[in-house]
Chain A
Amino acid sequence: MNISFAWLKAIAPGLEMSVEEVSEHLANRGAPVEDTEYLGAELEDVVVARVESVRPHPDADRLSLCQVNNGTETLQVVCGAPIIHEGGYYPFAGVGVTLPGPFKLKKAKIRGEYSNGMLCSEKELGLGRDQAGIMHLTGTVSLGQPLTEALALDDVRLDVEITPNRGDWLSHVGVAREVAIGGVDGIVLPAIPGAPALDLEVATAEQEISHAEVSIRIDEPELCYRFLGVIIRGVEVGPSPEWLAQRLRAVGQQPINNVVDATNYLMLEMGNPMHAYDLAKLDGSRLIVRKAHGGEKLQTLDGLEHKFDSEMLLICDASVSHDIGGIMGGLKSAVTEETSDVLLECALFEPKSIRRTRKALGISTDASYRFERGVDPEGHLPAVKRALEVILATSGGDIDGPILEVLPRPWEPQVLTLRLSRVAHVLGISLEAPDIEELLKPLGFGMERGDEDELRVTVPGYRSYDVTREIDLIEEIARTYGYDNFPGESGAARPTNVPDHPLFQLEDELRATLAAVGLLEATNPAFAPASEGDVELSNPISTEESHLRGALLPALLRRVEYNQARGARDVRFFEIGTVFHSGGSGNPPVEDLHVALTVTGRQRPAHWTEEVETVDFWTLKGLVDEALAGSGWEGPVVGGRGESDDDGAEGQDTDGRPRPGAVASELFVPATTVEISLPSGEPIGWAGQITPDRVDSPAWGGSVWAMELRLPAEPQLDRTPTFQPLPQFPGVDRDLALLVPQHVSAQSVLDCIRGSAGALLDDVTIFDVYRGDGVAETERSLAFRLRLQAWDRTLTDKQVDRVVGKVIKRLMEDLGVEQRL
């Protein structure tokens, strides 16, 4: 909302605050000033000059030579404007003056004639859009006067940020209520220059009212609460006087004509949108407020044609519509220079209907913006009277008849009960009734003492939208008391009984673990192309981001490409984030928390002592084990090869969730990929080598390894260690070289050893894998070290031999594994 500082001061007489102080004050009242702009900036050297004579340029048809008197001398100026009045006053910039742009004027020779400066258009001065002609200054200006003074440009435009609850702030009077001395009582509207004294009667009816041939009717009292109309005959439509045009320009509005400008002026000053119809264009001289007939059309003032549904409110004559009620007027009945009789409208519309209609039509206007946020239901009569003063003062004409009012239901101001005890309960400070009166009365609230603890507060119309409850009054008290005036000491807090969500603890632990093993955490937005997810956005930002991701890896791998494209060979990422998949029709999508990681490049930073190898499956598997240890799953299995995903479940698990691999399995090289599953067999993730054609790497780019894992919704986090007594006797290591057939996995051999060795087995590790001489091609030799330990004695060789013998027997029986001797 643009506020002219000069305008504000004009309606709040005695206001002593500077622009900075007003800005500070408004910020502390909840309306921060985003920007301030001095309107006369770069125009300080432009003066009012008089064109003494005009003659055609001898060598150019469209140019003229003007003798321009700037107050001190008369100079020749070449001008391209089609109409220049001899004796007229115009803004003049002499040689050496800098205009907005900025550009500096030089003495120029145009087709053989010297030009000693420039007569300026509104556009050249940065005052408006009109560049067709130079700016003809009317009204009281004097020769040589600085333009900033003549046009009252010695003004500052404040861009005030208005929150959507405060429709009452969308006018100069509204803002003045917060800054004027004494608040509402300090506001005095200045007299309109040349306005006649008006003594107007109001004729009111509930549904329809008429005067002379004119009638006004409301068919939709739920959508239009009030309608005031006034007939003005014999107006002379033309440019507004300078004082009016200046006010509009000061807040960035373009003057149009005196009648239209009068309605805009009142809206900006008092907050009531108005509309003026050319009465002659209204069929039957009627205005009917009704809903549109389905498919009805109207060409509006902006030249666009709109089509309406049957819920939209229109203002129509006997046959066609002329106005989208409260939003925008029609072109056909607009006030133009030909208009003689005007019907002025000042109405009140239901905010939600305005909002629905203007959203459906895709337009927003100054009027709709205000009606949507709530226009003062009590402000119509004063606003109309003042608008009439402006119209009569600027365009002549006579009022025909009374102010015609249709008012289906009279406005009843709301009276709220405010308990002093409740004020203290919410705000934590105690205020007495006089304190509260002092805070609220300047804002226009009426106060009456009720019971000891109560105040009866009458809400002014302009606050009737946002102040409807006791708490709204309490906010007003806090706001005017000043937030910074509250004390800053807090009492003790009771502990909450809400548990800390375990998934956050899981995330914390995983982040710490994966960062500690040398991975950088990446974050990607959850949007994905259609190929990477099955949950679609209905209003996506772009087709590349039309869906929600079903897995983390595709985007993470693009970040690997991004870094490789910038020359990075060693890229090591992890990401923790939400993935989405369809929950079936009518259900919200299912959300899972995933962790993914990817590595490429060297195993360790280069060191001068060695040639560092690149990452391989075993690097990845070590990282997978780190991730799984912190994953909150119980007993996850890093299992067999990933190519056999044909269990007939259509790629879905029991919850209808796509198998984690459904997206991810297309990414991996099957031969070097493993599935990660729960002991129940339910798959939760994949790890392996990324298919080379999935990552657009430079020629030097190494193989890329990656893992993606779904995290549990209810993680098992209690890993409190239980103390085990330390052995009092030495343990015994025994090595076993075993010939293991290729189809028997190392894991199954380990499981078999653990299952058969009994309680004396403390630990078993694989310390060598050998293929080649002495070992059949269908087998490989795996070397295991068994650590045997008794808690109560030193084991004898005989006891160890017995255990090992048992293990070897079981390996042979169960797996066909023999000892290599």
Chain B
Amino acid sequence: MSDSKSLIDTLKALEADALDAIGGASNAEVLEELRIAYLGRKEGRISALLRGLGALDVAERPAVGAEANRIKESLVAALEAQESATAGEGAAHGPSEDLTLPGRTRWRGGIHPVNQVVDEIWQIFRGLGFVRARGPEADTEWYNFVALNTPLDHPAADEQDTLYLKDSVLLRSHTSPVQVRVMEHHEPPIRILAPGMVYRRDTYDATHTPAFAQIEGLVVDEGITFVDFKATLAEFARRFWGPGTKVRFRPSYFPFTEPSAEVDVKRLLTMKDGTRVESDWIEIMGAGMVDPNVLENVGYDSERYTGFAFGMGPARIGLLKYGVPDLRLFFENDIRFLSQFAQGGAS
């Protein structure tokens, strides 16, 4: 009885010594020495103690054996824990590194904010079954004006001050010529989005640049009505500006659409304190049902086909969306500006 108890006490003292030694070990070599010293099958101190087991009563042996196993497991665990705690230390920067120091990073790139807006708009229309189309930026009066039901001798042609090259070639003043080109080459159903650069003879100020991005849209098929027109664009507006956005359609005039409309939205904004307020009405696009003359100009039967078209300025939308005060910032290409729109933050 007293023999077994004293043996267990000796084992426990040995465990305490071993744990102390393990805790103080600073590297794998010392730990390996400790493992051999305590747990080694031949020379280990626990093995040595257990050799005295034979002197005990048979009935007392299991309790001592169980305690010995528990202590072995405890030491193995302590050795492993200490080993992983000290692993890598001392390799390059000494034993106690400050792990709050920053990690290695890479340069953050990013897509231009206006192109991010274009892409966001495209993704929404893509979900509504649109595809993208493009046309030349230097175009003719036919595509830019005449085919779009805008005679050059009508005041409507003045609404956009056009930049000309030689031989009556001009820089397109809107993306609408793409409508005509697509319809010339394809039969309905047409469901296209045409992003691209357009040019006007404007001087640079906070709300004008002589070159800017525009996005055109065109839907032509049998049975397309003013109701489809409103529903499609209202759906876009709510998806882009968020649920709770109000959409308003006002009569307007564009030579290539009839009826024509301006589309306004009223956004529901969430303030920093969580309250929600409505914005003012914001003009976001010009639109309308395609004028029958435009359809006839490309050889479509305007009695059979109807459609709608729309155009918007992603840079202007970018001003509203990001709170940018001046369109010129989009062309300055200051990296401190562009980095605000980069992937994962600052560059």
Interface of A with B (CB < 8 Å)? 27-30, 32, 163-166, 352, 355-356, 372-373, 425-429, 469, 471-472, 474-475, 478-479, 483-484, 486-491, 493-501, 503-504, 508, 511-512, 514-527, 535-541, 545, 548, 559, 562-563, 566, 568, 570-574, 577-578, 580, 586, 588-589, 591, 604-605, 607-609
Q: A28-B251, A426-B225, A588-B138 are in contact. List 7 more A-B contacts (CB 8 A).
A: A428-B226, A478-B226, A511-B115, A514-B109, A520-B110, A520-B112, A608-B102
Closest chain A residue to B103, Cβ basis: A607
Given A520-B342, A580-B138, A165-B250 contact (CB < 8 Å)? no
The answer for the CA separation of A517 and B137 in the assembled complex, in Å, is: 30
Residues of B within 8 Å of A562, CB to CB, are 332-334
Whether the Cβ atoms of B203 and A495 lie closer than 8 Å is no
Whether the Cβ atoms of B154 and A164 lie closer than 8 Å is yes
The answer for the CA separation of A676 and B251 in the assembled complex, in Å, is: 53
Whether the Cβ atoms of A426 and B228 lie closer than 8 Å is no
- Chain A nearest CB from B189 CB (Å) reads 4
Contact of B191 among A475, A486, A493, A548 (CB under 8 A): A493
Whether the Cβ atoms of B109 and A518 lie closer than 8 Å is yes
Q: Which 6 A-B pairs have the closest CB atoms?
A: A428-B225, A518-B107, A30-B251, A490-B231, A428-B227, A163-B253
Whether the Cβ atoms of B192 and A496 lie closer than 8 Å is yes
Query: Which of A352, A478, A495, A578: most chain B CB closer than 10 A?
Result: A478
Closest chain A residue to B153, Cβ basis: A352
Whether the Cβ atoms of B189 and A493 lie closer than 8 Å is yes
B159 at the binding interface (Cβ < 8 Å)? yes
Whether the Cβ atoms of A520 and B331 lie closer than 8 Å is no
Whether the Cβ atoms of A578 and B197 lie closer than 8 Å is yes
Residues of A within 8 Å of B339, CB to CB, are 520
B165 at the binding interface (Cβ < 8 Å)? yes
The answer for the CA separation of A498 and B110 in the assembled complex, in Å, is: 30
Whether the Cβ atoms of B189 and A356 lie closer than 8 Å is no
Q: Which parts of B137-172 form the interface with A (CB within 8 Å)?
A: 137-140, 153-156, 158-159, 163-167, 169, 171
Whether the Cβ atoms of A486 and B227 lie closer than 8 Å is yes
Closest chain B residue to A493, Cβ basis: B129
Residues of A within 8 Å of B227, CB to CB, are 427-429, 486-490
Residues of B within 8 Å of A577, CB to CB, are 197
Whether the Cβ atoms of A496 and B131 lie closer than 8 Å is yes
Residues of A within 8 Å of B253, CB to CB, are 30, 163-166
Whether the Cβ atoms of B252 and A163 lie closer than 8 Å is yes
The answer for the CA separation of A478 and B230 in the assembled complex, in Å, is: 12
B207 at the binding interface (Cβ < 8 Å)? no
Residues of A within 8 Å of B119, CB to CB, are 508
Given A488-B230, A526-B211, A538-B166, A495-B129 contact (CB < 8 Å)? yes
- Chain A nearest CB from B286 CB (Å) reads 11
Given A515-B110, A515-B111, A588-B136, A522-B182 contact (CB < 8 Å)? no
Residues of A within 8 Å of B292, CB to CB, are 469, 471
Whether the Cβ atoms of A517 and B109 lie closer than 8 Å is yes
Given A32-B250, A484-B249, A537-B164 contact (CB < 8 Å)? yes
B190 at the binding interface (Cβ < 8 Å)? yes
Closest chain A residue to B130, Cβ basis: A496
B20 at the binding interface (Cβ < 8 Å)? no
The answer for the CA separation of A57 and B117 in the assembled complex, in Å, is: 71
Binary per-residue interface labels of chain B (233-255) against chain A in the complex, 1 for a CB within 8 Å, 0 otherwise: 01100000000000011111101
Query: Which of A479, A488, A498: most chain B CB closer than 10 A?
Result: A498
Q: Tell me the dominant secondary structure on chain B's binding face.
A: mixed
Whether the Cβ atoms of A496 and B189 lie closer than 8 Å is yes
B330 at the binding interface (Cβ < 8 Å)? yes
> By the criterion of a CB under 8 Å from any partner CB, how many residues of chain B are at the interface?
94
B335 at the binding interface (Cβ < 8 Å)? yes
Whether the Cβ atoms of B335 and A518 lie closer than 8 Å is no
Whether the Cβ atoms of A486 and B226 lie closer than 8 Å is yes
Query: Which of B137, B209, B292, B335: most chain A CB closer than 10 A?
Result: B335
- Chain B nearest CB from A519 CB (Å) reads 5
The answer for the CA separation of A355 and B225 in the assembled complex, in Å, is: 35
Whether the Cβ atoms of B153 and A28 lie closer than 8 Å is no
B108 at the binding interface (Cβ < 8 Å)? yes
Whether the Cβ atoms of A607 and B102 lie closer than 8 Å is yes
Residues of B within 8 Å of A511, CB to CB, are 111, 115
Stretch of B5-13, B38-46, B52-60, B257-265 at the chain-chain interface: B257-265
Given A428-B227, A498-B186, A538-B164, A605-B192 contact (CB < 8 Å)? no
Residues of A within 8 Å of B129, CB to CB, are 493, 495-496
Residues of B within 8 Å of A563, CB to CB, are 333-335
Residues of B within 8 Å of A525, CB to CB, are 209-211, 331
Give 23 A-B contacts (CB < 8 Å), ordered by A residue.
A30-B251, A163-B253, A166-B253, A426-B225, A428-B228, A475-B260, A487-B230, A493-B189, A495-B129, A501-B133, A501-B134, A504-B195, A511-B111, A515-B343, A518-B347, A523-B115, A523-B331, A539-B163, A548-B171, A559-B332, A604-B105, A604-B106, A607-B105
Contact of B112 among A521, A537, A588 (CB under 8 A): A521
- Chain B nearest CB from A565 CB (Å) reads 10
Residues of B within 8 Å of A28, CB to CB, are 250-251
Closest chain A residue to B292, Cβ basis: A471
Whether the Cβ atoms of A486 and B230 lie closer than 8 Å is yes
Contact of B165 among A478, A495, A535, A605 (CB under 8 A): A535
Binary per-residue interface labels of chain B (314-347) against chain A in the complex, 1 for a CB within 8 Å, 0 otherwise: 0000000000000000111111101100110001
Residues of B within 8 Å of A471, CB to CB, are 258, 291-292
Q: Which parts of B196-217 form the interface with A (CB within 8 Å)?
A: 197, 199, 201, 203, 209-211
The answer for the CA separation of A495 and B330 in the assembled complex, in Å, is: 35
Residues of A within 8 Å of B167, CB to CB, are 586, 588
- Chain A nearest CB from B142 CB (Å) reads 12
Whether the Cβ atoms of B258 and A472 lie closer than 8 Å is yes
Residues of A within 8 Å of B109, CB to CB, are 514-521, 572, 574
Closest chain A residue to B93, Cβ basis: A609
B71 at the binding interface (Cβ < 8 Å)? no
The answer for the CA separation of A517 and B253 in the assembled complex, in Å, is: 46
- Chain B nearest CB from A431 CB (Å) reads 12
Residues of A within 8 Å of B84, CB to CB, are none
- Chain B nearest CB from A224 CB (Å) reads 17
Residues of B within 8 Å of A478, CB to CB, are 226, 251, 259
Residues of B within 8 Å of A519, CB to CB, are 107, 109
Whether the Cβ atoms of B226 and A426 lie closer than 8 Å is yes
B61 at the binding interface (Cβ < 8 Å)? no
Residues of B within 8 Å of A491, CB to CB, are 223, 228
Given A537-B165, A562-B333, A499-B112 contact (CB < 8 Å)? no
- Chain A nearest CB from B92 CB (Å) reads 9
Residues of A within 8 Å of B110, CB to CB, are 515, 520-521
Q: Which parts of B8-53 form the interface with A (CB within 8 Å)?
A: none
Residues of A within 8 Å of B182, CB to CB, are 498
Residues of B within 8 Å of A429, CB to CB, are 226-227
- Chain A nearest CB from B69 CB (Å) reads 43
Closest chain B residue to A573, Cβ basis: B333
Whether the Cβ atoms of A500 and B131 lie closer than 8 Å is yes
Whether the Cβ atoms of A609 and B131 lie closer than 8 Å is no
Contact of B225 among A427, A518, A574, A605 (CB under 8 A): A427
Whether the Cβ atoms of B190 and A524 lie closer than 8 Å is no
Whether the Cβ atoms of A488 and B231 lie closer than 8 Å is yes
B70 at the binding interface (Cβ < 8 Å)? no
Whether the Cβ atoms of B251 and A479 lie closer than 8 Å is yes
The answer for the CA separation of A28 and B251 in the assembled complex, in Å, is: 6
B180 at the binding interface (Cβ < 8 Å)? no
Contact of A605 among B107, B112, B190, B219 (CB under 8 A): B107
The answer for the CA separation of A491 and B166 in the assembled complex, in Å, is: 46
- Chain A nearest CB from B255 CB (Å) reads 8
Whether the Cβ atoms of B106 and A518 lie closer than 8 Å is yes
Residues of B within 8 Å of A484, CB to CB, are 248-249
